[in-house]
Structure 1
Amino acid sequence: MIVALLLFSLAVGLLVKDKASEGGMEGFFVAGRKMRWWFLGTSIVATTFASDTPLAITGWIAQYGIAGNWFWWSEVIAAVAMTVFFARKWRNSGVVTDVEIAELRYGGAQATVLRTVKASVFSTFVNCIILGWVFAGMAKISEPFMHWEALLGPGIYSFIEAWYPESLMFQTLDNSITIVLLLMVTLFYSTLGGLRAVMITDLVQFILAMSMSILVAYLAVQHVGGLESMWGQLDTLYPADADSEFLSAERVASFAPAFGEGVTGSLGIPFTAFVLTLGVMWWTSGKVDGSGYIAQRLYSAEDGGQAEKGALWYAFANFMMRSWPWAIAGVAALVIYPRAEVTQVAQDFTNCLQDASYCTAQIATCMDNRYACEISEYALLYKDVDASGNTVFLEDRERGYPAMIRDVMPVGLLGLALASLMAAFMSTVSTHINWGASYIANDFYKRFFDPNASDRRMTWVGRLSTLGIALVSAWVATFIDNIGSMWELYGGMMAGLGLPHLMRWFWWRANAWTEISGMVIGLSLATINFAVGQTSGYGEGQMSIFPAFMASHAVHVIAWISLAAGIGSLITTFLTRPVDESILEEFARRVRPMGFWNGHNHGYSSERGLLASVVYWCTGTVSIYSGMFGIGYLLKLNYALGFGLLALCIVALVITVHGINAVDRGAGDQA
């Protein structure tokens, strides 16, 4: 199964390499701007469907319950906003990278500086952070399965072990061989075929990964006797006991967080932080307008209408389709591997490490060769060092997902399920290395070194950039061992760009200094905050330059950074000169912005008004949330509420799609 997946990916690269060479930059990085909505939307979903995602959700459900998904469910609001306000604008801009929009929007030397700095930060730093946790997730997935010494033989394995560089070691040699092999295949097809190859493989990889995630959830539920039995066993295993160290079944099954336990509540964040997540965080992130790899897909669309429909399809598929197979599998994992039993097994293994008399034959076998281990809970353990310097075994609920695949999937389907997670990994990696390479080729080489480079030369620059980005990202990713702290660093850095990114589309007065000041403030505060946390001993989640009464959680820290950056951006905007009218006119001609442009849009009004867009933003958001929770209540066997919410989803969706299509119908009538 795995070999078939790899051969298919290699074949795609070979089949489309000639098309990737046509059209230079546009052929290689935006697929000739010929993509249909279902193709580009699925590609975005496939990229966000990383191999680490089901692992993260499995861990959240054990720690926070289903309500832990609000960490990413809150992004529904931003996804629909990106659809109705910005998707069509990205396609109409005609750019090759999202940072290129800076010179189109602002002009002048400061816009060139902004474009160059953002390209530098996004192509290397951002990619390294994201690929760091993607590689970490793939390592956890492959660990129970890929026994390379058995596959290659002791002789070849020992040879690789002797020569393999420490600089590319992902925890163990087995993990490293798996990741390097997948990376090499990904590099092959993405380097030869460019974005077109990435999107074709994305489509197949998404179908495979989505099908297998549904099948894993179904077989896991059947393994415990069906949905009714699963919820019943959950109640038995996790009663509402105030003294229990584990989340109760009621809180595991709840869709909403509770805030009755001091400042944390069952979601593990203060109530104020939860409110900030829903009310502030989604629009203060630099990704709110689709900047990054999402924008790359949008300007690969055939036209603005296809970009808008593709973005809407992404929003629905990303949240309605992806949420529940992983959530239900996470609940099933709590039943298949009860937390009390896993904790006891961890203690047994720790005792064995500290005193050989506690070691049974089974424990000794597991520690000697995990692939021959008959204790299923061992797959959920990892080694750590406690405060006294002793090596101990601890529970890692994220490992429950690959362990469950191993234990509930029959032969054949097991290989297909593992291949699907490898496909998800390759999809994410291929997108990020192609996206990062687009900055190197378009915003550095072509902008500064050879503006008149031939299509053939630019294709080869793109290919070499893809290779370089992949190697640098893989090397840096080996140093990332604290994903939580990197998330906070990344979130703080992006918090400085949210408001400036909104201002550049909605308000004529914004200039290059608006974005520069927000980026500098956000990046500086986030970096200082990260450095303080690393040296002050706060540990995970509590690394703050702000007083404790202001920031008791990472969400507070990021919110304060976004507030400081937003105020700084507004002050800077009023203290600096506005953009020249000639630049504004060209931007308005291409993009036709909505919002506060009266007198400065030179007669180029938006295809759809601001008020109408707000209406469809609301109906689209209601549609996704009602559909998402409708499916959830059906899975909880509450059929009346479930079907009622699905009916609301359909009505709101029809209104939203009708509004989106009205723009294209109007354009057709005028023609």
Structure 2
Amino acid sequence: MSWIDWGILFGTLAIIVIYGVYKTRKNSNLEGYLKGNNTDSWATIGLSVMATQASAITFLSTPGQAYESGMGFVQFYFGLPIAMIIISVFILPIYYKLKVFTAYQYLEQRFDVKVRSLTAFLFLVSRGLAAGLTIYAPAIILTSLLGWNLQLTCILIGTLVIVYTVSGGSRAVSLTQKWQMAIIMIGMFIAFYFILDSFPDNVGFSEGLDIAGAMNKMQIINTSTDITEKYTLLSGFTGAIFLFLSYFGTDQSQVQRYLGGKSLKASRIGLMFNGLVKIPMQFFILLVGVMLFVSFQFNKPPVIFNASTTKITANDDDSLRMIDQQYNEVFIAKQNALDQYLSGDEAQLKSAASFEKELVDIRSEYKDRLKTLDENYEKEDNDFIFLSFVLDYMPVGLIGLLLAVIFSAAMSSTAGELNALASTTTIDYYKKFFSKSDDDKKDVRVSKLLTVGWGILAIVVALVAGLFDNLIELVNIIGSLFYGTILGVFLLAFFIKFVKARSAFIAALIGQSSVLILHYLTVQGMVDLSYLLYNIIGSFIVVLAGITIEMLVPQKEKT
């Protein structure tokens, strides 16, 4: 990296931090610190909600997923607008009417303090783990490709987030996220332009789509009803809806974003903005990955994208050298087929697709062999693909901007999570069990200290985390392990009025235990389920158990 890239990277990050600190320096009461004095417009809410969900993992992992598997992941978001409508109609009015700081305060009014505390605890566990992952994901990839120190990179990202989140609270998070989203999308459009520019002169966007389609990268809709498949139309309108209902309706990291709205109307419009814009945004990010795949049909990609994670090369092993030679020969054959296709022989496109399948098998063989030589080598390298292109093909200056995009995405998501973790701990535990005073200044100080504490914990989680098959899937898996139970409790609270506190509490324990057992069986290969179904199963078990327990052992209504 040149000094220009370093300057753009750290200059962008410094401006974001300074802006957040300056604009929110006068927050002195708990209302202002945790809810921003209800001053956010619908646009700020919508962008803030999107930024909290769209972490660095989205912009690193999603293009890599599209490169490997195509556009099918976009189906995951098809149920989002429906979830936004349900939340806006049924859930938002209750939060605004009760003037709550956290979603879990409502559960005490509906049930009791045990149900409130249990649900808040499940949120703290799931979101605390996710906060560490949103720091670790960009750090591990940046350090692998750039040679940075992993521990220092995690600490840098976490510290920058802590500074402005502690300083300005919820308002600082929302304001900075608005500008972070602008930087992120500008950077992605620039990257898209340079990906298309890397095509040969006789290949344009339409030809790129044809090539991607012939190689099965443009299948958007999968109508399969097989519940073991992760991304289908069925899962997008069932399991994903339950995940989004729980995430946006009951997860404090999102609830806090729209509780700071100027009005109920502003919050509703902000949520609907997110529901409608998120799908085309995700479609575009996936399309970036697909066009990157097309670019590497003409510009030979490395056999492995994360070569920096191992010291072994083809020069060190005869088997690797032979596989590498075979890879080069098949790639040349594929290029010849593509050249003939572009010259008018359309039948050669099928030949090129066949050669591409062969290259995938060769890459897999190479990684298997490398794994036997170096047990520390991680075979999954989807998350390295996009950043590899940025470093190898982007001009000086723009590399710094794209790295700033990744850092900004990590900071925006982590800031929303730390703010929500501190708010939940302050309101649902500290204010509830340890301090009943109305000393606003003291409460704000405690909330700031808790923000620092959660930030340090997130950094620690990042420092001990390990690389996974695909990072964006890992985030959703962590959420799915807990969101079904949390959503089930809220469904009981909102819609099944005869179920009382004891039944809801026991049902939550049963639901959470069932999901964790089911996930263990899935990991062990004893059952085969998509993780998206955890959300449906968990919430269904909680609702069914709550109703059953209440009917079998009715409770007396508290007066």
- Tell me which interval the TM-score lies in, with the shorter structure as reference length: 0.7 to 0.9
Amino acid at match of 1:122: F
Task: Specify which of 17, 22, 25 is matched with residue 15 of structure 1.
Answer: 22
Task: Specify which of 183, 189, 195 is matched with residue 170 of structure 2.
Answer: 195
1:329 and 1:573, CA in 2 relative to 1: closer, same or farther beyond 3 A?
A: same
Paired residue for 1:629?
A: none
Paired residue for 2:295?
A: 336
Paired residue for 2:249?
A: 289
1:387 and 1:60, CA in 2 relative to 1: closer, same or farther beyond 3 A?
A: same
1:393 and 1:177, CA in 2 relative to 1: closer, same or farther beyond 3 A?
A: closer
SS at match of 1:269: coil
1:390 and 1:435, CA in 2 relative to 1: closer, same or farther beyond 3 A?
A: closer
Counterpart contact for 1:58–1:330, Cα < 8 Å: yes
Counterpart contact for 2:488–2:508, Cα < 8 Å: no
Paired residue for 1:33?
A: 38
Alpha-carbon distance between aligned partners in 2 of 1:339 and 1:291, rounded to the nearest angstrom: 44
Alpha-carbon distance between aligned partners in 2 of 1:220 and 1:438, rounded to the nearest angstrom: 42
Counterpart contact for 1:494–1:522, Cα < 8 Å: no
Alpha-carbon distance between aligned partners in 2 of 1:219 and 1:307, rounded to the nearest angstrom: 37
SS at match of 1:62: helix
SS at match of 2:481: helix
* 1:180 aligns to 2:155 (yes or no): yes
What CA deviation, in whole Å up to 9, does each residue of 1:564-589 have, x standing for no partner? 33311221343443755x7xxxxxxx
TM-score (normalizing by structure 1): 0.67
Amino acid at match of 1:131: A
1:468 and 1:339, CA in 2 relative to 1: closer, same or farther beyond 3 A?
A: farther
1:305 and 1:519, CA in 2 relative to 1: closer, same or farther beyond 3 A?
A: same
1:511 and 1:337, CA in 2 relative to 1: closer, same or farther beyond 3 A?
A: farther
Paired residue for 1:86?
A: 91
Runs of 5+ unmatched residues, structure 1: 149-173, 239-247, 360-376, 583-671
SS at match of 1:255: coil
* 1:249 aligns to 2:256 (yes or no): no
Alpha-carbon distance between aligned partners in 2 of 1:420 and 1:509, rounded to the nearest angstrom: 49
Residues matched between the structures, number: 505
Paired residue for 1:565?
A: 542
Counterpart contact for 1:235–1:249, Cα < 8 Å: yes
* 1:521 aligns to 2:486 (yes or no): no
1:351 and 1:144, CA in 2 relative to 1: closer, same or farther beyond 3 A?
A: closer
* 1:451 aligns to 2:436 (yes or no): yes
Alpha-carbon distance between aligned partners in 1 of 2:261 and 2:496, rounded to the nearest angstrom: 26
Paired residue for 1:419?
A: 404
1:386-405 maps to which residues of 2 (within 5 A)? 386=371, 394=379, 396-405=381-390
SS at match of 1:251: coil
SS at match of 2:56: coil
Post-superposition shift, 1:383? Answer: 9.8
1:209 and 1:500, CA in 2 relative to 1: closer, same or farther beyond 3 A?
A: same
Post-superposition shift, 1:510? Answer: 3.9
Alpha-carbon distance between aligned partners in 2 of 1:421 and 1:13, rounded to the nearest angstrom: 18
Paired residue for 1:352?
A: 315
Post-superposition shift, 1:16? Answer: 4.2
Amino acid at match of 2:63: T
Counterpart contact for 2:252–2:424, Cα < 8 Å: no
What CA deviation, in whole Å up to 9, does each residue of 1:54-112 have, x standing for no partner? 22222332333111222333333213322333233322320111111112333xxxx11
Post-superposition shift, 1:234? Answer: 6.2
Counterpart contact for 2:107–2:116, Cα < 8 Å: yes
Paired residue for 2:325?
A: none
Give RMSD over aligned pairs: 3.7
- State the identity %: 18
1:192-591 maps to which residues of 2 (within 5 A)? 192-224=167-199, 229-233=204-208, 235=210, 249=214, 251-257=216-222, 259=224, 269=229, 275-283=234-242, 286-287=246-247, 289-320=249-280, 322-338=281-297, 342=301, 344=303, 351-355=314-318, 358=321, 386=371, 394=379, 396-481=381-466, 482=468, 487-513=476-502, 515-532=504-521, 538=524, 542=525, 548=527, 551-556=528-533, 559-574=536-551, 575-577=553-555, 580=558
Post-superposition shift, 1:459? Answer: 0.7
Alpha-carbon distance between aligned partners in 1 of 2:206 and 2:193, rounded to the nearest angstrom: 14
Post-superposition shift, 1:517? Answer: 3.4
Paired residue for 1:59?
A: 64
1:277 and 1:334, CA in 2 relative to 1: closer, same or farther beyond 3 A?
A: same
Post-superposition shift, 1:556? Answer: 4.7
Post-superposition shift, 1:455? Answer: 0.8
1:227 and 1:331, CA in 2 relative to 1: closer, same or farther beyond 3 A?
A: farther
Paired residue for 2:329?
A: none
Amino acid at match of 1:324: F
What CA deviation, in whole Å up to 9, does each residue of 1:249-275 have, x standing for no partner? 353112212649xx69xxx8179x752
1:108-187 maps to which residues of 2 (within 5 A)? 111-123=112-124, 125-143=125-143, 146-148=146-148, 174-187=149-162
Post-superposition shift, 1:480? Answer: 3.5
Counterpart contact for 2:40–2:260, Cα < 8 Å: yes
Which fold has the larger relative contact order, with Cα–Cα distance below 8 Å and residues 6 or more apart in sequence?
2
* 1:2 aligns to 2:9 (yes or no): yes
1:339 and 1:411, CA in 2 relative to 1: closer, same or farther beyond 3 A?
A: closer
SS at match of 2:249: coil
Post-superposition shift, 1:339? Answer: 11
Runs of 5+ unmatched residues, structure 2: 1-7, 323-359
Post-superposition shift, 1:559? Answer: 4.0
1:143 and 1:186, CA in 2 relative to 1: closer, same or farther beyond 3 A?
A: same
Post-superposition shift, 1:388? Answer: 8.3
1:346 and 1:393, CA in 2 relative to 1: closer, same or farther beyond 3 A?
A: farther
Amino acid at match of 2:131: L
Alpha-carbon distance between aligned partners in 2 of 1:227 and 1:65, rounded to the nearest angstrom: 23
Post-superposition shift, 1:509? Answer: 2.5
Paired residue for 1:593?
A: none
Alpha-carbon distance between aligned partners in 1 of 2:135 and 2:199, rounded to the nearest angstrom: 31
1:276 and 1:415, CA in 2 relative to 1: closer, same or farther beyond 3 A?
A: closer
